[in-house]
């Protein structure tokens, strides 16, 4: 079996590759050529284990992502199996991979739902996930300017300078959260917040929102008013959203959102549901993170790593 380190993954992984792999994964889900099981969790007193299994025969993908979280941080791996024989074919360190697949999922949703002329972005957050969100959106829309808010002013400044070099887009640190939302074409929340950072009163006509920070029912980045102003609400997985979408909890409770109006992105991509129907619509993609995204991208990373002679062969 092949073992790839984070450094190996970083040498071959690009956002273009991630966008292609994640888009293919969603389409396989829509065509019922893939299986994705919602995240499962268990824990000791000190560590929580998270497991996301998935399979897609026509992508040659079978496996799972597993990661642990604790007070000392998180550790991520993807394990791939031979879809015909069952043996382990690869183990991949998957922190960087996970950042790119999450960014790519928002990129795929943005390409489908944001206005074609969307050119401005507001971003909440300056962490690793925030970086790949911006990289992906800049790939799928003609972005000219981005505005970034986080609580740490120095980190904001450093993040914006780095991302400006990576994207070639003007990126401006802002001091007030409203400046990263009101009047902009695309708004992204990529934070660890437990309480809303994006308020509905800042949501403007025609916006597309990518809400990606929370995957637990006890955390939300959005208030109820966001959903009152949103016409199209999509998720990567409705089953997983019912278990994990903390952003939905209060809107569902007060009737600002109904499960019957929440649509999955995969069938929307193949035309089973309309997406945006007018330039004035507000659209929202709630990303939770799916195992099928991880293994679809991991298969492509392994192919490129083998071509370049990267990684270490381990005895099974």
pLDDT digits (tens, 9 = 90+) for 102-146: 999 999 999 999 999 999 999 999 999 999 999 999 999 999 999
* Percent of the chain with pLDDT strictly greater than 70: 100
Q: In the prediction, which pLDDT does 316 show?
A: 63
- Mean pLDDT across the stretch 15-35? 97
Sign of CA dihedral 60, 312, 128, 72: positive
- Residue 295's alpha-carbon distances to 1, 70, 298, in angstroms, are 16, 24, 5
What confidence tier does 315 reach under pLDDT thresholds 50, 70, 90?
confident
Q: What pLDDT shows up at residue 108? A: 98
Cα four-point dihedral sign 305, 307, 310, 313:
positive
Task: Yes or no: say if 30 and 58 are a contact pair by the CB < 8 Å rule.
Answer: no
**Whole-number mean pLDDT of the chain?**
97
Q: Alpha-carbon distance 276 to 73, whole Å?
A: 39
Reference 9, options 133, 105, 132, 100; nearest CA is: 100
Q: Indicate the range of 13-17, 153-157, 215-219 predicted with least confidence.
A: 215-219
pLDDT one-digit tens code per residue, 271-286: 999 999 999 999 999 9
d(CA 141, CA 233): 20
Classify domain 106-289 at the CATH topology level. Rossmann fold (3.40.50)
**Mean pLDDT score, 70-88:** 95
Instruction: Record the pTM.
Output: 0.96
User: What pLDDT, in 10s, does the model give residues 158-172?
Assistant: 999 999 999 999 999
Phi first, then psi, for residue 131 (nearest 5°) are -60, -50
Domain residue limits, the chain: 2-98+292-313, 106-289
| pLDDT at residue 126 in the model | 97
Domain 2-98+292-313 has CATH 3.10.20.30: no
The tens digit of pLDDT for each residue in 187-235 reads: 999 999 999 999 999 999 999 999 999 988 999 999 999 999 999 999 9
Q: Are 284 and 223 in contact (CB under 8 A)?
A: no
pLDDT score, position 51: 98
The average pLDDT across 55-84 equals 96
């Amino acid at each position: 079996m092949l073992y790839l380190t984070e450094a190996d993954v970083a040498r071959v992984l690009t956002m273009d590759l991630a966008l292609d792999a994640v888009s293919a994964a969603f389409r396989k889900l829509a065509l019922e050529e893939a299986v994705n099981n919602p995240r499962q969790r268990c824990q000791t007193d000190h560590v929580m284990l998270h497991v996301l299994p998935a399979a897609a025969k026509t992508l040659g993908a079978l496996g799972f992502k597993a990661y642990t979280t604790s007070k000392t941080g998180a550790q991520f791996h993807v394990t791939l199996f031979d879809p015909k024989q069952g043996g382990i074919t690869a183990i991949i360190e998957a922190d960087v991979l996970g950042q790119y697949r999450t960014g790519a999922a928002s990129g795929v949703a943005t390409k489908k739902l944001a206005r074609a002329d969307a050119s401005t972005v507001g971003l909440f957050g300056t962490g690793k996930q925030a970086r790949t969100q911006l990289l992906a959106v800049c790939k799928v829309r003609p972005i000219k300017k981005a505005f970034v808010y986080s609580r740490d002013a120095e980190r904001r400044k450093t993040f914006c300078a780095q991302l400006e070099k990576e994207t070639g887009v003007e990126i401006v640190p802002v001091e007030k959260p409203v400046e990263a939302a009101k009047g902009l074409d695309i708004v992204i929340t990529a934070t660890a917040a437990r309480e809303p950072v994006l308020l509905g009163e800042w949501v403007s006509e025609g916006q597309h929102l990518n809400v990606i920070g929370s995957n637990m029912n006890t955390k939300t980045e959005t208030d109820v008013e966001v959903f009152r102003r949103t016409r199209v609400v999509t998720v990567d997985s409705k089953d997983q959203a019912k278990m994990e979408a903390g952003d939905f909890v209060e809107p569902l409770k007060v009737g600002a959102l109904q499960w019957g109006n929440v649509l999955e992105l995969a069938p929307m991509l193949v035309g089973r549901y309309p997406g945006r129907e007018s330039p004035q619509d507000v659209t929202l993609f709630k990303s939770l993170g799916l195992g099928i995204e991880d293994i679809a991208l991991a298969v492509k990373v392994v192919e490129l790593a083998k071509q370049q002679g990267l990684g270490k062969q381990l005895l099974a």
